[in-house]
Structures are given as structure tokens and as C-alpha cells.
């Protein structure tokens, strides 16, 4: 991220939820930064805290502790009108586009709504802008008169992206934005997102399960396990330099169409422990074939193996890596 303007700073963020007399640790000690024009991919199993983190990043959930600052402003501390005005800087694209549309609202009305609400522009001007927005995401201008059910999933997702970018946000969160689409359409939507993010010079968090897709669209990848980031590295280094056993297991689950059908498939055994009962040591210890006694006793923290490559693993660090600065 050299010579790039840092847009988002996330520092030691935690989120717990009360469950009867216990606490559910959804997100634990998350720290990272995001630059303008950068796409940070966040990957992990279902239930690892990705969506909880996404909701905190866009301000719909408040962190239990830690800070999130966009452009130097800790927006979770803002109140009333000041908070509402700041919200336009952050937008979100969801996994299922149809669920975020009103079936009674035409596409043009849906696209015009953000500009009318935030900028108070006349309806005529707002509707005129919808054609440009549709053109921006590669759709015909006459789609503004259609209803959501008249569009395919890929077309609806393009409209959702256009709406998110209509008010020129600084920061975009895509939570499984391509997960519900056909594989051929996934690639189109992902490449469209990359193109628009670069053109508008905004920051983007891209959340997903597919490591192959994440690697192709992201600048860096953060791997989450049970609410924590266990590895963070440049996407181009993922195949050759990843060292955490969980990251390696995720890579082993990516199938190649040219793979040897007789080759044994190594499965990651067991289930993640309950976030209600967080282990004393490494949360991945029970599923790790390389686990040692110190892994069960002491929680590994993110350490820097080399510039830009962080990992939370006692064995990977080998005692020679330098701890991440506060």
C-alpha cells in the first residue's frame, strides 16, 4: 500500500453478544487498514464472523470495543444528523440482490432514491441520472422502467452495484456479492466491481468463500477463523507463501478442472469450536495436524513474517518473526 492514501483504519475491534449468562465472541481483536483504490478480500468458513465484521464496518452494528475510522473519523461515535450525513460515505452490496429490492418499486425509482434522499435533488434530475448509472454497469437505459422480477440475478446485482455507487461513497462492502450467481456471471460481476472501484478510487471489502475468485479480484486477502484474522497477505503471494494450516486447508479445497481424479482429497476434519467456549490457546488447534502443546496453551497473535505478510501461528512464526506494532 505504499504511496496510497489510507482510507479505513480498523484497530483491535471486538464484538460480543450476550447469550443467556454467557458471551458469544463473534469478532475478536481485528486490526487492518484499507487504502483508496484497494480491494481487501476476507475469506473464511460460515460462522467465522465475516458478516458481523461487515455490519460493523458499515455502521449497522456497534463494536463492543476497539475503533473503526473512515478518513480519520470514528463514525460509530457520531450521533443524529451528523451520523446520517456520514453514512453516505459507506455502502453495501448484499448476496441476494432480489431480497434488497421492493417488488413494487421500478428500477428507476430504486436508483433515484439515494440521490433524492441525501442530496435532495429534484425527481426529474434524479431519474435522468438513472440512465447513466445503468450504462455505467453495462445495462440498457430502458431498464429503469422495469420491475425487479423482470431482471435476472446478474442484472439485479448490477443494479444493486449502481445504486451503491450512485452517491459516490468512499467505501464499499460486498458481502458475498457474487455467491448467489452462476459461475459465468460471478466473474462478470467481480470484474465489473474491480473496474468501478479502480475508476472511482474507493476502498472495498470483498467478502466470500471462493479463494480462487477472491485471489483474482483482491489486492490482499485476510483469512478469518472463529472471529480472528489468522493470516493476511498479498493475493499474488497466496499460493506460494501462505503458511497458516487453515489457509493451506482452504487452498486444498479448491478444485481444478484439470485435477487428477485419482488423487486423494485431503479433508479438513472436525468442526470449529463454539464461540461461546473460546479455548485458551489457538482456536484451530483441535483441527490442526501440526498442533503442538504450546498451541493448546497460548493464543497466537498476528506476527509479521515479511513486509505485508502477517500470520497468527506459533509454528509458522518459528520465533523469528517480529510482532505487529500497535
194-252 confidence digits (pLDDT tens): 999 999 999 999 998 888 888 889 999 999 999 999 999 999 999 899 999 999 888 87
Residue 291 has pLDDT above 50, yes or no: yes
Q: Using DSSP, state whether 277 is helix, strand or coil.
A: coil
| CA-closest candidate to residue 221, choices 56, 34, 57, 95 | 34
**pLDDT at residue number 266:** 65
Beta-carbon contacts of residue 104 (< 8 Å; ≥ 6 apart)? 147
Give the span between the Cα atoms of 81 and 235, in whole angstroms: 39
Residue with cell 523469528: 320
Task: Give the β-pairing of 203-208 and 171-175.
Answer: parallel
| 290 touches 243 (CB < 8 A) | no
pLDDT level of residue 325 (50, 70, 90 thresholds): very low
User: 152-155: which pairs have CB atoms within 8 A and are 24 or more residues apart?
Assistant: 153/97, 153/98, 153/180, 153/181, 153/182, 153/185, 154/181, 154/182, 154/185, 154/188, 154/189
Quick: pLDDT tens for 97-119: 788 888 899 999 999 998 888 88
Average pLDDT of the chain to the nearest whole number: 87
Quick: pLDDT tens for 168-195: 999 999 988 877 677 778 888 888 999 9
Give the span between the Cα atoms of 177 and 158, in whole angstroms: 10
| CA-closest candidate to residue 137, choices 109, 158, 167 | 158
Which pTM was predicted? 0.89
Superfamily classification of domain 6-89+169-241 = P-loop containing nucleotide triphosphate hydrolases (3.40.50.300)
**pLDDT at residue number 218:** 94
How many CB atoms are located within 10 Å of the residue 128 CB?
14
Amino acid at each position: 500500500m505504499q504511496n496510497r492514501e489510507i482510507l479505513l483504519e480498523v484497530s483491535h475491534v471486538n464484538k460480543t453478544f450476550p447469550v443467556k449468562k454467557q458471551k458469544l465472541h463473534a469478532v475478536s481483536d481485528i486490526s487492518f487498514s484499507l487504502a483508496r483504490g484497494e480491494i481487501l478480500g476476507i475469506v473464511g468458513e460460515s460462522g467465522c464472523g465475516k458478516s458481523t465484521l461487515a455490519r460493523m464496518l458499515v455502521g449497522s452494528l456497534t463494536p463492543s470495543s476497539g475503533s473503526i475510522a473512515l478518513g480519520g473519523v470514528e463514525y460509530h461515535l457520531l450521533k443524529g444528523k451528523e451520523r446520517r450525513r456520514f453514512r453516505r460515505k459507506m455502502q453495501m452490496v448484499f448476496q441476494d440482490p432480489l431480497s434488497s429490492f421492493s417488488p413494487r418499486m421500478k428500477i428507476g425509482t430504486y436508483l433515484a432514491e439515494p440521490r433524492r434522499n441525501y442530496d435532495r435533488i429534484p425527481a426529474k434530475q434524479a431519474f435522468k441520472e438513472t440512465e447513466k448509472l445503468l450504462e455505467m454497469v453495462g445495462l440498457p437505459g430502458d431498464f429503469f422502467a422495469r420491475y425487479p422480477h423482470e431482471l435476472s440475478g446478474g442484472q439485479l446485482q448490477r443494479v444493486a452495484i449502481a445504486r451503491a455507487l450512485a452517491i459516490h461513497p468512499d467505501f464499499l462492502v460486498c458481502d458475498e456479492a457474487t455467491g448467489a450467481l452462476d459461475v459465468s456471471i460471478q466473474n462478470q460481476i467481480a470484474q465489473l466491481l474491480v473496474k468501478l472501484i479502480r475508476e472511482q478510487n474507493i476502498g472495498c471489502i470483498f467478502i466470500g468463500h471462493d479463494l480462487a475468485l477472491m485471489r483474482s479480484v483482491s489486492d490482499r486477502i485476510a483469512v478469518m477463523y472463529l472471529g480472528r484474522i489468522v493470516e493476511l497477505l498479498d493475493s499474488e503471494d497466496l499460493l506460494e507463501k501462505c503458511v497458516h494450516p487453515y489457509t493451506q486447508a482452504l487452498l486444498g479445497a479448491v478444485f481444478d478442472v484439470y485435477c487428477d481424479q485419482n488423487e486423494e482429497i485431503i479433508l479438513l476434519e472436525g468442526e470449529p469450536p463454539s464461540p461461546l467456549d473460546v479455548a485458551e490457546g489457538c482456536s484451530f488447534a483441535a483441527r490442526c495436524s501440526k498442533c503442538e502443546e504450546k498451541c493448546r496453551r497460548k493464543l497466537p497473535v498476528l506476527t509479521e513474517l515479511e513486509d505485508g505478510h502477517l500470520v497468527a501461528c506459533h509454528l509458522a512464526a518459528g520465533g523469528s518473526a517480529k510482532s505487529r506494532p500497535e
